[in-house]
Structure 1
Amino acid sequence: MHPADSEISPALECRRLSKAYGSGRVVLDGLDFALGAGEFVAIMGDSGVGKSTLLNLIAGLESADSGEVLIDGAPISRLNDDAATRLRRQKLGFVFQAFHVLPHLTLAQNVSVPLLLNGMPPAPALAMLAAVGLDGRGDDLPRQLSGGELQRVAIARALVHRPRLLLADEPTGNLDPQTAHEVLALLREETKATGAATMMVTHSEAAAAFADRVLILSDGALHAAASLASFNASRDR
């Protein structure tokens, strides 16, 4: 959290968050973490350490064994299903590797979905498409777009309702390196422009390089990465 954010609640707080599975495997062990508005954080770590579990706990899709998650000060981990769904609709945005655009809807309609779910007018969808470099493409269908363009639509849809927190799970995993670079630059730019806090899970050093902070998930906790090179050297031992 930046000093300027100290007088307002962080976009995301994880307090003593713990999770283990039936086998006894601990994936999160009393994790404490905060993320401020406009901050872009990359989470890295080996496969199976719990990165996806962490995202699911933050989104309220899984329950922690102990601890709590607060989104914009609201404890999503203590809400009932209906209240948690409303909080996700209003406060969260999601960008995934597989895009998840709806093939039968136009680009404008796809981007309008979060607005409609929140009872908001759809007008901002076209401006958001323009912001991600798809001006004039609102009537196109997803089948007319490249992979990079589809991810731009996904970013526009995730940010159009001005969420407090954006969760991105391997957002460039299906893209070639040049397109991935362009999409990540856009994701960072729009994070700063909208003031959303962004948590990105990635295996890619190139993707993590766009973040303000890189954190490594290991042994149930998040650790600041001295450098990506040192992280990779530790994995190779």
Structure 2
Amino acid sequence: MLELRDLAKTYNGRPVLNRLSHQFKAGEFVAIMGESGVGKSTLLNLIAGLDAPDSGDIVIDGQPMSALDDNAATSLRRTRMGFIFQAFHVLPHLTLEQNVALPLLLNGQSQERAGAMLAAVGLGGRGGDFPRQLSGGEMQRVAIARALVHRPALVLADEPTGNLDPETADSILALLRDEVKASGASAIMVTHSHAAAAQADKTLILTRSGLHFVQDVR
């Protein structure tokens, strides 16, 4: 489903990723851990097409990202991917339901599922509220609902439970896993939490020398 081919990325003369190669299987929920600054968030941004590698390529369903023009890359992100940002990126001028429905709107799909997804993350009945009325943990839940609402083939999650209490984190991870498995999607989650990583099918450690398999959890 997803293949990394010799990815390299440098910031301010410092190599962050160096000839990184790995294959992710369809339907797999993978956690990526590693020390701060090793390039975990950078890797997610490269996969999402939000940043470009200095060299190497990312291949999704046999399609090299480097072969796509801007419009095709945007269409791929919009229809095939869901991204849970560490900083939420919830739009302040839209209601919660409008925020969650945005991927559906952009893809020309029915927006009815937005309310159901808000209920699934524990915010049912609050679709008319605005982000300013939410706590950080609640905004994270909105971001998760928005990432899953259009049933993407690939979910990229950057510290999705970082602003949640343990009980809510467990329920959100269960939702993420259930949605991914029900739709046959793949998910890649960057996390510092061993409890969160334990919910994944597989844990990988990112180091300067690449991605290293740690364990099969399930």
Give 1:98's aligned residue. 87
Q: Decide which structure has the larger Cα Rg and report it.
A: 1
- Out of 18, 38, 41, the residue aligned to residue 52 of structure 1 is 41
* 2:58 is aligned with 1:69: yes
Kindly tell me: are residues 130 and 175 of structure 1, through their superposed partners in 2, closer, same or farther at Cα, counting changes over 3 Å? closer
Aligned mate of 2:207, from 206, 210, 218? 218
Question: How far does residue 221 in structure 1 lie from its aligned partner after superposition?
Answer: 0.7
Q: CA deviation at 1:98?
A: 2.8
Please, which runs of 5 or more residues in structure 1 have no aligned partner? 1-9, 229-237
Which residue, out of 17, 21, 36, partners 2:7?
17
Rounded to whole Å, the distance in 2 between the matches of 1:66 and 1:53 is 14
1:162 equivalent to 2:151? Answer yes
Residues 84 and 227 (structure 1), Cα distance of their counterparts in 2 relative to 1, 3 Å cut: closer
TM superposition score normalised by structure 1:
0.81
The Cα offsets for residues 191-235 of structure 1, whole Å up to 9 and x where unpaired, read as 22232211111111121111111100112410011599xxxxxxx
What is the aligned partner in structure 1 of residue 69 from structure 2? 80
1:43 aligns to what SS in structure 2? strand
Correspondence for 1:199: 188
Q: CA–CA distance in 2 between the matches of 1:121 and 1:84?
A: 23
Q: What do you get for the CA RMSD once the two structures are aligned?
A: 2.3
Q: Which residue number in structure 1 is paired with residue 101 of structure 2? A: 112
Is the contact between residue 144 and residue 160 of structure 2 (CA under 8 Å) also seen in structure 1? no
Q: CA deviation at 1:144?
A: 4.2
Q: How big is each residue's C-alpha offset from its partner over 1:23-56, in whole Å with a ceiling of 9 and x where there is no partner?
A: 2x33323222222333211111111111122112
The verdict on how the C-alpha distance between 1:221 and 1:144 changes in structure 2, with shifts beyond 3 A counting, is same
For the residues of structure 2 that align with 1:164 and 1:209, how far apart are their CA atoms? 22
CA distance in 1, matches of 2:92, 2:9: 36
Q: Find the aligned partners of 1:100 and 1:122 in 2 and give their Cα distance.
A: 20
Contact kept in structure 2, 1:17 and 1:32, CA below 8 Å: yes
Q: Give the drift of 1:172.
A: 1.5
Q: How many residues align?
A: 217
| Separation in 2, partners of 1:140, 1:216 | 39
Q: Is the 8 A contact 1:41 1:198 kept in 2?
A: yes
TM-score, normalised to structure 2, is 0.87
Change in Cα spacing, 1:196 to 1:132, as seen in structure 2 (3 Å) is: farther
Match of 1:232 in 2: none
State percent identity of aligned pairs. 68
Question: 1:226 & 1:26 partners in 2: Cα distance?
Answer: 27
Q: Determine if the alignment matches structure 1 residue 178 to structure 2 residue 167.
A: yes
Cα distance, 1:15 vs structure 2: 1.8
